[in-house]
Structure 1
């Protein structure tokens, strides 16, 4: 959410378990009856050479933010001590401009978004380069246990702190409005009835350019979905992102909500008009085949031109 997201691809999703248009209040939800878990890093793997499919042109990346080519990317599960870095990266990438002069409040809103996406997440993976988290995926597979069962309780505490501040309360109202719009789009499309998984958050830092972080995260998630028997998955995105990436991956657009058709959006005008919202879905196996066919087609065209 917010106008600063146009330089990075992402997916963001509402809670697929939400129903109704009533105001979201996580304190009224029944918490998961499950003992607390600690998110523990697992053995890491190294990335292979790959195109940076998710990162925008170099003109949008500061030269001094690009790591040395000799560095290699490590992929591992999200750890609890990663959250401050994840929240900071989210805030720098998608933080609300009206809150830029109040960094603690901006960080609090970004923390709420991260925790919202983490709620219900059953798989969270980060891409790390030289000890710095530069990308991540949060995903939810039906029937699997959430990694963070106390997310609702954490969200309730964040909401209380935001409501105690005049500007924060406006930010919270508009955030909840955004989530409700996504929930309505899910119900209209009935996407939950034909999918078994959801990509809830896909974030790649501009500082990751040239290291294939986005492509690596994407392929690893598709392999995970296939391993878990997922036939079809879905995600939310909007027009501040390069939605063409999902077309390139072989996904289809199942539903859209065009902001110009909803003049009632953001009556408080704090963050401007809400973006156009989209729901995309795809099949993990078809995504892989689509990329192979696309690559073969490009190779054939180059061969015909003698390149």
Structure 2
């Protein structure tokens, strides 16, 4: 049986693994150190900005995670040591990734500006990831259901892209609000990517 409860920080290594595998970060980073560092940067950054961090547990083992940030709510995890850690990871990423990731960030910022010009958003779902070995068990849906009980009547948006399982959101009533085509440049390689912004009122 799966239970949903606040994420324990001791489970961060597993969250990083879920993010790396679920979002296919290994497509961009061949160096194992760079891959793991980027995974930790991503997870620590999103956790620092989260107002909710939910874990799905089965027999005490983490099997899924959801981070969300409500715009008007305080960020309890945004301590100065964590922000310092995120900044350190960010500097390391510039060494490995060069100027590649700003194209992704710029596309997301452009989509958000176009979206919020038409609709108001109460917050963002910044991470939804599950154990890749347990896909099809409904873990992501259970995390969303638990989150929905605290976000009733509020509109949340999320970013995803063509390297992720974006169809999950199509099948669960999310609206694809915006798309952008980019080329992500990492080192000497270029990766075409479709960036997407979805939203839903819970």
**TM-score of the pair, normalised by structure 1:** 0.58
Contact 1:96 1:271 in 2 (8 A): no
Q: How does 1:268-287 map to 2 (within 5 A)?
A: 270-284=188-202
Q: CA RMSD in A?
A: 2.4
Determine the C-alpha separation between the residues in 2 that align with 1:116 and 1:274: 24
**TM-score of the pair, normalised by structure 2:** 0.85
**What is the CA-CA distance between 1:152 and the residue it aligns to?**
2.7
**What is the CA-CA distance between 1:115 and the residue it aligns to?**
1.9
Determine the C-alpha separation between the residues in 1 that align with 2:28 and 2:141: 32
Unaligned runs of 5+ in 1: 1-71, 164-168, 260-264, 285-307
Correspondent of 1:248 among 156, 171, 188:
171
Alignment size in residue pairs: 199
**What is the CA-CA distance between 1:76 and the residue it aligns to?**
1.2
Report the counterpart of residue 96 of structure 1 in structure 2: 26
Contact 2:4 2:146 in 1 (8 A): no
Look at both structures and tell me which one has the larger radius of gyration over its CA atoms. 1
Determine the C-alpha separation between the residues in 2 that align with 1:89 and 1:242: 13
Determine the C-alpha separation between the residues in 1 that align with 2:117 and 2:144: 21
Judged with a 3 Å threshold, the aligned counterparts in structure 2 of structure 1 residues 211 and 98 are, in CA distance, closer, same or farther, namely: closer
| 1:180 and 2:106 are equivalent in the alignment | yes
**What is the CA-CA distance between 1:138 and the residue it aligns to?**
0.3
Please state whether the residue corresponding to 1:156 is helix, strand or coil: helix
Report the counterpart of residue 133 of structure 2 in structure 1: 207
- In proportion to residue count, which structure has more strand? 2
| 1:158 and 2:86 are equivalent in the alignment | no
Report the counterpart of residue 143 of structure 2 in structure 1: 217
User: Which sits farther off after the overlay, 130-139 or 195-204?
Assistant: 130-139
Determine the C-alpha separation between the residues in 2 that align with 1:172 and 1:134: 33
Report the counterpart of residue 119 of structure 1 in structure 2: 48
**What is the CA-CA distance between 1:271 and the residue it aligns to?**
5.0
Q: Deviations over 1:192-235 (max 9, x none)?
A: 95111211111012222353211211111111201xxx431111
Report the counterpart of residue 231 of structure 1 in structure 2: 154
**What is the CA-CA distance between 1:79 and the residue it aligns to?**
1.7
Judged with a 3 Å threshold, the aligned counterparts in structure 2 of structure 1 residues 270 and 146 are, in CA distance, closer, same or farther, namely: farther
Contact 2:98 2:186 in 1 (8 A): no
Determine the C-alpha separation between the residues in 2 that align with 1:271 and 1:205: 29
Report the counterpart of residue 62 of structure 2 in structure 1: 133
Contact 1:124 1:137 in 2 (8 A): yes
Judged with a 3 Å threshold, the aligned counterparts in structure 2 of structure 1 residues 271 and 87 are, in CA distance, closer, same or farther, namely: farther
Determine the C-alpha separation between the residues in 1 that align with 2:67 and 2:54: 7
Please state whether the residue corresponding to 2:4 is helix, strand or coil: strand
| 1:105 and 2:23 are equivalent in the alignment | no
Judged with a 3 Å threshold, the aligned counterparts in structure 2 of structure 1 residues 96 and 175 are, in CA distance, closer, same or farther, namely: farther
Report the counterpart of residue 195 of structure 1 in structure 2: 121
Judged with a 3 Å threshold, the aligned counterparts in structure 2 of structure 1 residues 271 and 80 are, in CA distance, closer, same or farther, namely: farther
| 1:144 and 2:73 are equivalent in the alignment | yes
